Homo-oligomer: A and B are copies of this chain.
Amino acid sequence: MYLSFQDIISRVETEISRLRFVNHPESLYAPISYMLSIGGKRIRPSLALVSCNIYSDSIEHSIPPALCVEVFHNFTLMHDDLIDNSDRRRKKPTVHKVWNKNTAILSGDAMLITAYRLISESPSSNLKELLDLFTTTALEICGGQQYDMDFESRTDVTEAEYIEMIRLKTAVLLACALKAGAIIGGASEEEAMHLYELGVYIGLAYQLQDDLLDVYGDPETFGKIVGGDILSNKKTFLLIYALEQASQSQSEEFHRWFGQKTFDPSEKVAAFKRMYDALGVKEAAEAKIKSYYDKAWEHLHMLQAPHGRLAVLEEVTNYLLYRQA
């Protein structure tokens, strides 16, 4: 059966709500349930089901790797929130705020192990391949997070370094989800590779959209504080591009703000925005996103899938590339 995107999203929600953990010690597992219950768009597991459904009428076997990817993603959020000392996630208090730091460490560990428990429920004929894909991806994501941390203390991060960081931190998990679904669905190696690359470019575009929305997004729909990246001096694509293009005096103004410990937040955001506008940062980011968009579609068009089986993948690709929130 060929499912609509809505069907797939609701199947994912059902499966997540059905997840059962060892229920003791309660203090270890309650934070895992909490983290999974506060939502998110469930994009990653949905991608796995969508790509499986291109090649197979049955998506049952793609459920365990899809859940694995979602549980893993939420594990990274639990530890990243602790690392970044973030108080809120999806408008709710983070795990280390509801409980404490040690609980966030340990429940996160149990969550990572749970992700492996899920992937090991994959059909035995694909088990080794899926395990290797997932392990490689998981290590890349740790690497991406480490680069992100290393970048905090640097002001000379290049655009290429930044793109590589977001490829590792964000893009490869979308790619992994699409490829895992394809493997389970019985796609050829070449098809699976195109779906992987599609995922990478969707992921890169997605993260750059996130950078843009931080500055130019609608506060009502974005769900985060507008200008949050600016206030924390985060090396986003926008800032890196701006620093590369800045005149001597603009560069000095950026560095003055970096050094400032106390300031009026709205003044800092306005100052950055003014320089971004002068330097054409928004247009540069949009052009970059467009280039990833084109690459994504190139790979999508290389797929040899039977006619009509790509409609949902096209729909979700468009949705992700043109998101406003």
Contact = CB atoms under 8 A, between A and B. Distances in A.
B128 A113 contact: no
Contacts of A145: 106
A82 B106 CA distance: 11
A22 interface: yes
B127 A128 contact: yes
A4 interface: no
B113 A142 contact: yes
A124 B132 CA distance: 13
A109 interface: yes
A290 interface: no
A131 B116 contact: yes
Interface in A88-110: 102-103, 105-106, 108-110
A279 B40 CA distance: 56
A15 to B, nearest CB: 19
Given A120-B131, A150-B27, A109 B112 contact: yes
Contact of A106 (B83, B103, B131): B83
Copies in the complex: 2
Contacts of A127: 127-128
A127 to B, nearest CB: 6
B135 A120 contact: yes
A21 to B, nearest CB: 9
A104 B22 CA distance: 26
A138 B111 CA distance: 11
B143 A25 contact: yes
Contact of A147 (B25, B110, B138): B25
B142 A117 contact: no
A142 B102 contact: no
Contact of A24 (B27, B103, B106, B143): B143
A108 B105 CA distance: 10
A83 B102 CA distance: 6
A43 interface: no
Given A102-B83, A106-B83, A150-B25, A139 B114 contact: yes
Nearest to A22: B139
Q: Which 3 A-B pairs have the closest CB atoms?
A: A28-B146, A110-B142, A120-B131
